[in-house]
Amino acid sequence: MVEWPEAYVLAKQINEVAAGRTIVEAEANHSPHGFAFFNHPSELYPLLLEGKSIIGANHGTGHTCGGNVEIACGDKLLVISTPIRYYAPGSKVPAKHQLRLLLDDGASLTCTVQMWGAMMVSDLADVKFPEAYTINQMPEPVSDAFDYTYFCGMAEGKRNLSAKAFLATEQRIPGLGNGALQDVLYNCGIHPRQRLDALTEAQMRSMFESVKTTLRAMCEQGGRDTEKDLFGNAGGYVTKLSKKTKEMPCHVCGSHIVREAFLGGNIYFCPTCQPYEKKK
């Protein structure tokens, strides 16, 4: 899957290099993958996409939940929730891929699923996708509509959840996953295990502000340095907490960054800057 900052960057780059181009060849499921998901039989993808012109792309905020890349292709909508790569005319495309689009200038767009990912097509005039991709349509987390009142409304009835569970599970903020979460919580000094009902009003507001400012910084700087953009380049946002910073000193206090398993994935935190207090 891709998270919100990377979807933002991918969509922007697709608009720069592929908008206006026509898909002359489409191929799905060339390399079968157990966690690559399609909403049509793979043999139908050429019929659905070939001959369609790429109108433009966005970061999953038009018809589906955030964290996807939506590409309008003529009268079709292609939704991708896995990394996308661009190969210039004459470049060699990787042997393994789950979706390949050859454009009329000889360039290609490909998707190669890593953990899991979906590549789905619908009629643009009547968009129909599985419920999981549409149920959490919401204001973009960096928009004015995503304000503190909206954020507190999301927390109603969920105060027994940890900060990680609240922000990064069940797609409450679609596209905010376990990767981007780490810096969001580090920047506001909240431990991923900390329950919401142990947070003060000031801490809740600080967490809200961190969601907006951290995601905005990740987008503006070309995505995180742990992920790749459309051209295979690492993002320019230097992560403070990630697999790259494990056991390194915290840049604020000097304590060593800790990695632990929690809720089906790793969490990273500074034990000094992000203290954990169990609710009594």
Nearest-angstrom CA–CA distance, 72 and 69: 10
pLDDT at 132 (0 to 100): 64
Q: Indicate whether 84 and 198 sit together in one domain.
A: no
The answer to the question of residue 141 being in a domain is no
The answer to whether residue 133 scores a pLDDT higher than 70 is: no
pLDDT at 136 (0 to 100): 61
User: Cβ–Cβ contacts within 10 Å for residue 228, how many?
Assistant: 18
pLDDT at 72 (0 to 100): 94
When the pLDDT of each residue in the chain is averaged and rounded to a whole number, the result is: 92
Name the pLDDT band for 279 (thresholds 50, 70, 90).
low
Which two three-digit tokens encode residue 2? Answer: 């891709």
Q: Indicate whether 15 and 124 sit together in one domain.
A: yes
The answer to the question of residue 142 being in a domain is no
pLDDT at 20 (0 to 100): 96
Q: Which of 106, 133, 160 is the last residue of a domain?
A: 133
Q: Indicate whether 100 and 208 sit together in one domain.
A: no
Q: Indicate whether 122 and 219 sit together in one domain.
A: no
Q: Indicate whether 123 and 186 sit together in one domain.
A: no
pLDDT at 135 (0 to 100): 53
Q: Indicate whether 8 and 129 sit together in one domain.
A: yes
The answer to whether residue 44 scores a pLDDT higher than 90 is: yes
How many angstroms separate the first and last alpha carbons of the chain? 37
pLDDT at 66 (0 to 100): 72
The answer to whether residue 149 scores a pLDDT higher than 60 is: yes
Name the pLDDT band for 39 (thresholds 50, 70, 90).
very high
Q: Indicate whether 14 and 129 sit together in one domain.
A: yes
Q: What is the mean pLDDT of the segment spanning 119-142?
A: 79
pLDDT in tens, 173-203: 878 999 999 999 999 999 999 999 999 999 9
The answer to the question of residue 276 being in a domain is no
pLDDT in tens, 51-65: 999 999 998 777 777
Q: Indicate whether 154 and 103 sit together in one domain.
A: no
Number of domains in the chain: 2
The answer to the question of residue 197 being in a domain is yes
Q: Indicate whether 91 and 36 sit together in one domain.
A: yes
Residues spanned by the domain of 251: 148-269
Beta-carbon contacts of residue 189 (< 8 Å; ≥ 6 apart)? 203, 206, 273, 274
CATH of the domain at 181: 1.10.8.50
pLDDT in tens, 152-166: 999 999 999 999 999
pLDDT at 139 (0 to 100): 82
pLDDT at 125 (0 to 100): 84
Of 163, 141, 126, 114, whose CA–CA distance to 5 is shortest? 141
Q: What is the mean pLDDT of the segment spanning 89-101?
A: 95
Nearest-angstrom CA–CA distance, 47 and 45: 5
Q: Indicate whether 64 and 161 sit together in one domain.
A: no
The answer to the question of residue 139 being in a domain is no
Listed in order, strand segments (DSSP E) in the chain are 23-28, 36-37, 54-58, 69-73, 76-80, 84-87, 99-103, 108-111, 117-123, 258-262, 265-269
Q: What is the mean pLDDT of the segment spanning 107-129?
A: 89
CATH of the domain at 29: 3.20.190.10
Indicate the pairing of strand 36-37 with strand 117-123: parallel
pLDDT in tens, 8-32: 999 999 999 999 999 999 999 999 9
Q: Which of 99, 133, 167 is the last residue of a domain?
A: 133
Nearest-angstrom CA–CA distance, 138 and 151: 11
Q: Indicate whether 81 and 53 sit together in one domain.
A: yes
The answer to the question of residue 259 being in a domain is yes
The answer to the question of residue 274 being in a domain is no
pLDDT at 262 (0 to 100): 96
Of 81, 82, 110, whose CA–CA distance to 96 is shortest? 110
Q: Which of 73, 104, 133 is the last residue of a domain?
A: 133
Q: Indicate whether 154 and 77 sit together in one domain.
A: no
The answer to the question of residue 223 being in a domain is yes
